[in-house]
Structure 1
Amino acid sequence: MTTRIALATSADHADLHPADLPLAAALRTAGLDPVAEVWTDPSVDWSSYDAVLLRSVWDYHTRYLEFTEWLGQLDKACVPVFNDTDLLRWNGDKRYLLELRERGVAIVPSQVAAGACLHEVVAGLDGQQIVIKPTVSATAHNTIRGLAGSGELSRAMGDLPDDVYLVQPFLPEIQSEGEWSLIYLDGEYSHSVLKRPADGDYRVQSDMGGTATSADPTPAVRAAADAVLAAVDSKHAPVYARVDGVVVTGRFLLMEVELIEPYLFLPQHPAADVQLATAVASRLA
């Protein structure tokens, strides 16, 4: 009997993002029957699937309550989810960075602030270039950068919705050196890219004009990223993970560990499609 697996995606990519088509083919070769399903489609019977693999669920952060309720539905249906739902819930709010810091991971210095506290925190950083981002966010959504204490940043903050935010120093190394993304499949290192923002920008996302180039990390960067994954508290190694960080004065600082729906740069490393499909198939065997 064929094992059916739902590839959860967003309505914007109902037939899968083009980068995931080779993965679907690799899953079929591994003996699975992958079917693209929009996670917000109420007509989908998730219990009819043997497992759910999240892929381009890239709108979850704008519908976060709905997303967590959906995870609860999958739990009630006893459908295995990759990555597992406890890990997804933990990773959905960037306050996990503070937990990882307590476990010894070097992160970009971060403060959490909500409501009026946001203005108090920013006032304490007067004269510094900072970045403000929601703790539940993706693709630089509602992320702003500016000089603390400036009228321009104050006006931008006034346009932000009432939410919980991370306040971090702006790291010029992102512009000069780039941001690393290290990809792990089934707990093992697979490949890396170095992302750079467009000239004059600080956002490395492709939607913002950023670029990504295959690159080999130094042993120090690789060791630091390995340590990040080891610090993630989970029963099993994540089926997929992306560790994003920047090197500052020779030290790798974690920006995010992506466990929900990261773009895995599979086109830059075609062998990874088979590696991921094999990992999923082995867990369902």
Structure 2
Amino acid sequence: MPTLIRVSPRIALATSADHAELHPHDLPLADALRVAGLDPVAEVWTDPSVDWSSYDAVLLRSVWDYHVRYLEFTEWLGQLDKAGVPVLNETDLVRWNADKQYLMELRERGVAIVPSQVAAGPCLRDVVNGLNGEQVVIKPTVSATAHFTIRGTAGSDELSQAIDDLPDTVYLVQPFQPEIQSEGEWSLIFIDGEFTHAVLKRPADGDFRVQNDFGGTAELLEAPAAVLEGAAAALAAADTRRSPVYARVDGILANGRFLLMELELIEPYLFLPQSPEATTKLASAVATRLS
């Protein structure tokens, strides 16, 4: 009787050219995927030589340049769909989440968000002028890592000059939330719909950006009940057929109420090194999706 050789499902961990090899924070995940019976391989999403159809699935990880190659990115997702290659998270969900206008939809579904207005072209100045004297944050609706994100006083010459230097695209305009500097911004991680861990991110002194690229820090902490409940409600409001295999919910606690800043479903940093249990859970969830 011939010997049957069990072949491990191959999964591409999609990266960007600037991070062609796995980011250090994903190395434990790759190990956990192997333990879960999968064969993970790092592949650059823009590499034309990659045969994506040779993989059983694609797990989006450090595709951190998708926002500057947005049309190319959505075309690539279409190619994966056409080839019948499953993507985690699902491509429809990724497309929806890629444009921050999804916040307006979540607000209509009852989610408390940081006050936001969408504006493009000449309307951008009209919206900003309507907040005259307030500290505001302006960010593209398709962006990541504070790309083209500016902060200033509405009506000031400095902010007007900064707006002049922005590319012509669609923006979110939000009143600056001082809690980001005084209390910090929460990130809550959910694997397969279940909460696993939370971190509190704080910006460097004098800054408002919490990313470590700008000197921000993150500390593993137990989330207050109001934060956890608000984050879970925000994730539940997303229009999904099934729970995302991974999700990060970012927001602040203002006057005892959780306000959603972003729902990260594409390639978020999941703070896996801070939670080995979440790493194992994510690998198991991915393996289950492929079984």
Secondary structure in structure 1 of the residue aligned to 2:269: coil
Shift of residue 212, structure 1, vs aligned partner: 0.2
3-state secondary structure, aligned to 1:34: strand
Q: Which runs of 4+ in 1 moved over 6 A?
A: none
Q: Which residue of 1 aligns with 2:167?
A: 161
CA shift digits 1:81-126 (9 cap, x unpaired): 0000000000000000000000000000000000010011111110
SS of the equivalent of 1:191 reads strand
Query: Is 1:84 paired with 2:90?
Result: yes
Q: Of 55, 68, 93, which aligns to 2:99? A: 93
- Name the counterpart of 1:31: 37
Q: What pairs up with 1:28-107 in 2 under 5 angstroms?
A: 28-107=34-113
Q: State the SS of the aligned residue for 1:222.
A: helix
Q: TM-score, normalised by structure 2?
A: 0.97
CA distance in 2, matches of 1:121, 1:200: 26
Q: Distance in 1 between matches of 2:45 and 2:207?
A: 32
Aligned mate of 1:280, from 277, 281, 286: 286
**Structure 2: distance between partners of 1:119 and 1:156:** 11
Q: CA RMSD in A?
A: 0.5
Question: Runs of 5+ in structure 1 lacking a partner?
Answer: none
What do residues 202-246 of structure 1 show as CA deviations (whole Å, max 9, x unaligned)? 000000100000011111111111101110111110000000000
Aligned length: 285
Aligned to 1:115: 121
Question: Could you tell me which amino acid in structure 1 is paired with residue 289 of structure 2?
Answer: R
CA shift, 1:271, in A, is 1.6
Aligned-partner Cα distance in 2 for 1:124–1:105: 24
Matched, 1:149 2:172: no
TM-score by length of 1: 0.99
Find 2:200's aligned residue among 194, 197, 204: 194
Find the partner of 1:209 among 215, 218, 222. 215
Residue identity opposite 1:206 in structure 2: N
- Secondary structure, counterpart of 1:55 in structure 2: strand
Amino acid at match of 2:155: G
Output the CA distance in 1 between the equivalents of 2:212 and 2:147: 13
Shift of 1:273: 1.1
